[in-house]
Structures are given as C-alpha cells and as structure tokens.
C-alpha cells in the first residue's frame, strides 16, 4: 500500500515540492493542487505528479478539495503520474487560447465547475484562477458574477 498524506498544511506541501519530493494527487478523489510559480500558476488534478523536477520553483500552493497525496511506488506509477500531469496542463492550456481575458476566465471557470462543486470553488481565491490563465483577479470576479 502506497504511503498517503491527507490534509497536509499548504506550507508543508510547498516544502515537499521545493525539496523535489515526488508525490501524486490521489486519483480516487475530486481533489487537486494549484501550484504557484514565479510568474504563473499550474493546476495538477487527480492522478498528476507534483514535485520532483517539475516544481522546484514552487513558491506556494493552494489545495483544491480534500487533498490527498500519494507517494508513487514504482517506475510505472511515476511515469503514469507525469503523463497525467501533462494532460492537466494541456486542459488548462485550452483556457488560455482565447485572446479576450474574460473569455479565458469564463472558460477556466467552466472547466472547474464541471469537476468541482460550487462550495469548493467558492473557497478558492480569484488570484489563484487569475494566475492559471493570465488575467487580473478582477476578471475572475466578473466571470464568477456572470455565473450567479
């Protein structure tokens, strides 16, 4: 059975990532991690690798949902987790393909609304979403207001 960590404080998760520790987002739960980098943020969802060489420049994190992290045990587990991380990056990239900032914000919110419940999304700061798609937090606030 793989080693599992649930509900770790964000600063402890950040330290694991900065130190190069490779973990995987539990694929059996609706959870994820927003990873803040120097100039943007990335989202890693269920099954995705976090840490390792990918996130040495991590500045902080925001857990999404009831975060559960697992230590991948085998080479195949690690390889699969990296492939899933790439899939999540590609999904997030689809939100950035719009020139209009409000469209980018709306597309991102739509993607997250299809995966997480509104209570989970309401707990996430506008800044986190803004850094995922390169818009101002106020643009996220506007996109959220359109959904209400």
pTM over 0.85: yes
- Rounded distance between C-alpha atoms, residue 122 and residue 76, angstroms: 36
143: its two tokens: 């996109």
One pLDDT digit (tens) per residue for the chain, 148 residues: 678 999 899 999 999 999 999 999 999 999 999 999 999 999 999 999 999 999 999 999 999 999 999 999 999 999 999 999 999 999 999 888 999 999 999 999 999 999 999 999 999 999 999 999 999 999 999 999 987 6
Instruction: Give the span between the Cα atoms of 59 and 41, in whole angstroms.
Output: 10
Vertex 89: Cα angle to 42 and 18 (nearest 5): 40
Q: What angle do CA 23, 62, 130 make, to 5 degrees?
A: 125
């Amino acid at each position: 059975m793989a080693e599992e960590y649930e509900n770790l404080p964000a600063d402890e998760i950040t330290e694991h990532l900065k130190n190069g520790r490779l973990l995987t987002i539990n694929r059996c739960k609706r959870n994820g991690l927003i990873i803040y980098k120097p100039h943007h943020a990335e989202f890693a969802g269920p099954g995705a690798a976090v840490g390792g060489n990918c996130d040495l420049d991590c500045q902080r994190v925001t857990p999404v949902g009831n975060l559960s992290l697992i230590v991948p045990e085998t080479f195949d587990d690690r390889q699969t987790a990296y492939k899933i991380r790439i899939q999540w990056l590609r999904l997030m990239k689809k939100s950035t393909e719009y020139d209009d900032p409000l469209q980018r914000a709306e597309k991102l919110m739509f993607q997250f609304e299809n995966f997480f419940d509104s209570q989970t999304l309401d707990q996430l700061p506008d800044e986190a979403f803004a850094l995922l798609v390169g818009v101002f937090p106020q643009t996220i606030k506007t996109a959220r207001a359109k959904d209400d």
